[in-house]
Chain A
């Protein structure tokens, strides 16, 4: 036993020495690598005929479900630009990074893209948490980030362009429409995190101002799957509308159990803000049929640009694939950036930002335009009814693009929300 111990100590010290050696070797070689890298970079960025852009989405982890298709849409847009001769005579070269559904990783990879790869812009993110993680990084490095998903508003960074809807392009018009068409009594149901809580704060202020009535407000943990009690509560207070800000898988459980409890879309309208074509596939069109969702784009949106877009996307990625709002916003973000670069005549971030104001692009959802002041986009708002085949039938749209107003400055009832 004693000998063994002595031996063990010896081995341990040997191991320690060995690992120290290896470590110091690594440090030395990485310093060399870095020097090489620097040399290479400074030479490539001057003379090469390509320009690098970053694509940063969760390609693994829980958010991969949604974000992989955004990457696909962005790559498709980049390919289109390259096929039509590139940008300022250069081919675009995407550098793809995986945020792995982990917010610190998003910050780290954004930093890597900006500092090491020297990308001229990044397209990326889905959750608000990932955006908030990348925000300080792009601001400190004076980078550019295009964020393609609807979110809770109350933000505008000089280094971020928002191509998804802000609240006044999705939630606020939906609430007004519901009040006019479906009834006054609202039940708010959401997942327990920042987006639903902020959204519901806005909805409550709006209900107060526009004569609606709040009859219930419930939050469930992310991943919650038993909605029988909440459905009991809904039955009890008999709302006209359930405004649903549940995120992810909980939606499947909620809608299945709602149907089981004998409540159909005829009895009660559920309006959702995060169920799109992609999500309907997993819940089942039959279960959701008749319920509503509000977005800026549906796969069924009837524009010539969209016909081409959907056909191309399916041809490239498979006929089972569907397009939806964030996919479209990710796609036209690349084109908007390209237009801004062309106008600026340069890839320089400050010049591109300056040139971006008022840039228009004929997106699949209609013409979108960058609002220079907030760096959000003007978009058309659409309310659709879910059909058994998983597609939307449009019930209403705003006609023309709605000016983005992330801080809801133009709504008197939203004054107290700022504080």
Chain B
């Protein structure tokens, strides 16, 4: 029983991480149709931003080292968002409606960003030490739920909620949705689609930065961190159904749960194979993913 609960928790936790790495992509790929291969590197930028904030605190404010992470969250969001904005203005905007070209161009960008990280921070991984208040975990009936995982779950929940409110309750968010549904019609109604594209891309990039900030708690921070997660991110978005955020949420938790539950009875390699096989079968049956969008402009 306790094994099952632990695995369920691990599945939710893995799902939340999947969701975090995919949510930014769901905006740039799902809503805007840009195949952004540099999404992983935007995650990397967020992770390195966290590292820089940590170094900054260690240097200038060692007494408040415990709180560096609180500062690192907005910093990683804005650094990645700004980079995303620059990327959109200089490159992506010329490639809307040319998905294959955007794939190649952004892949080039990802290589450039990786190499830049190597030049600035060196090839080996850097150590990001989590704040002390995230050490340890909650003990319940012989099980341990690490604070970091709980924190990430909450972090993801808050971020998704904020994104949902932004897209549905604010004027700017509604404009993004209008452009997604029908770009030409939205333009006719006086929405500046160029502006909307830029903001949407920046927000998507910002969420990649947040994901990077969260990943520093769990895994390695190196120039190639993005390449580990980029395939998973696309997998989640495609399984969820392009263009729907709720599909991304379902896809992420689905993959997380299936992955951890099969891994317990088989092995890590096998679990990956089984998860991929299930996704392939599922997409044969429902090519548009878990939740499909009903709009003429996407057909």
Contact = CB atoms under 8 A, between A and B. Distances in A.
A65 B123 contact: yes
Contact of B268 (A62, A224, A287): A224
A16 to B, nearest CB: 25
B23 interface: no
B112 to A, nearest CB: 14
Interface in A80-138: none
A223 B3 contact: no
6 contacts: A249-B219, A259-B135, A260-B149, A282-B124, A286-B129, A287-B127
Contact of A232 (B3, B129, B136, B259): B3
B137 A221 contact: no
Interface stretch (A27-35, A48-56, A250-258): A250-258
Given A221-B268, A229-B10, A253-B220, 5 more contacts: A65-B222, A220-B267, A228-B260, A229-B260, A233-B264
Contacts of A256: 217-219
Interface of B: 3, 6-7, 10, 13-14, 17, 123-129, 135-137, 139, 144, 146-149, 217-222, 224, 227-228, 259-260, 263-264, 267-269, 271-272
Given A228-B13, A261-B146, A62 B220 contact: no
Nearest to B10: A228
A284 B127 contact: yes
A253 B219 contact: yes
Contacts of B217: 256
A65 B7 CA distance: 34
A252 B125 contact: yes
A278 interface: yes
Contact of A230 (B3, B136, B268): B268
Interface of A: 62, 64-65, 68, 192, 218-221, 223-226, 228-230, 232-233, 236, 249-253, 256-257, 259-262, 278-279, 281-284, 286-287
B127 A62 contact: no
A261 B7 contact: no
A284 B129 contact: yes
A262 B123 contact: no
A62 B224 contact: yes
Contacts of A250: 220
Given A230-B268, A281-B124, A249 B218 contact: no
Contacts of B263: 229-230
Contacts of A223: 227-228
Given A229-B264, A262-B136, A221 B144 contact: no
A224 to B, nearest CB: 6
A418 B136 CA distance: 46
B218 A225 contact: yes
Contacts of A262: 136-137, 139, 144, 146
B137 A282 contact: no
Nearest to A231: B10
Nearest to A229: B263
Contacts of A249: 125, 219-220, 222, 224, 228
A229 B217 CA distance: 17
B254 to A, nearest CB: 15
Contacts of A282: 124-127, 220, 222
Given A282-B220, A283-B127, A261 B144 contact: yes
Contacts of B221: 252
A261 B220 CA distance: 17
Contacts of A229: 7, 10, 260, 263-264, 268, 271
A226 B264 CA distance: 13
Q: For A228, A261, A283, which residue has the most chain B Cβ atoms within 10 angstroms?
A: A228
A279 B124 CA distance: 8
Nearest to A261: B144
A228 B217 CA distance: 13
Contacts of B272: 221
A19 to B, nearest CB: 23
B276 to A, nearest CB: 12
A396 to B, nearest CB: 27
A228 B150 CA distance: 13
A226 B14 contact: yes
A287 B272 CA distance: 27
Contacts of A252: 125, 219-221
B4 to A, nearest CB: 10
B264 A64 contact: no
A221 B135 CA distance: 27
Given A221-B268, A262-B136, A232 B6 contact: yes
Contact of B7 (A62, A64, A225, A232): A232
B267 A218 contact: yes
Contacts of A221: 268-269, 272
Nearest to B215: A225
A278 B7 CA distance: 34
B123 A225 contact: no
A232 B10 contact: yes
A260 B137 contact: yes
